[in-house]
Amino acid sequence: MEGCLFCGIVAGDVPSTAVLDTETCYAFRDINPAAPVHVLVIPKEHIDSLEAVGSSQAVLLGDLIDAIRAVAAKEDVAESGYRVVTNIGEDAGQLVKHLHFHVMGGRSLRWPPKGSEAGG
């Protein structure tokens, strides 16, 4: 999609550090890592967010899950543990409107995210 940063990365117009490249998915290092391992896994085709995808794209969703697990294995966090996050929309802080899964690990991660349900 024109003007989409991650479509630009898939096209090679925007530089990225590849971790995994499959027929349907691409994984690359987050430019502003929040953990020793912080990789973004995306579909090569443009999809706005998880809100815009469903069972009709079951094969692609399976490919993304396989890619996430392959990244975890490659980055050596499959056994130590890792977190998979996808932000959807404004309240979640989705900055890039191209579906992406953050794969984070390599240190102990706190849960839940900061703030309270009451709005803290």
Q: Using CB under 6 A, which of 54, 93, 113, 115 touches ligand AMP?
A: 93
Nearer to ligand AMP, 95 or 118 (CB): 95
Is the separation of the CB atoms in 16 and 29 below 8 Å?
A: yes
- Least CB distance from residue 18 to Zn ion, whole Å? 17
In the window 12-71, what residues touch ligand AMP (CB under 6 A)?
14, 16, 30-32, 40
CA angle 10, 12, 16 (to 5 degrees): 80
Nearer to Zn ion, 10 or 19 (CB): 10
Is the separation of the CB atoms in 60 and 43 below 8 Å?
A: yes
3 vs 109: CA distance, rounded Å = 33
Q: Does 14 bind Zn ion (CB under 5 A)?
A: no
Catalytic residues: 100
**Residue 44, contacted partner among Zn ion, ligand AMP, none, CB below 5-8 A by kind:** none
Token output for 76: 């050596």
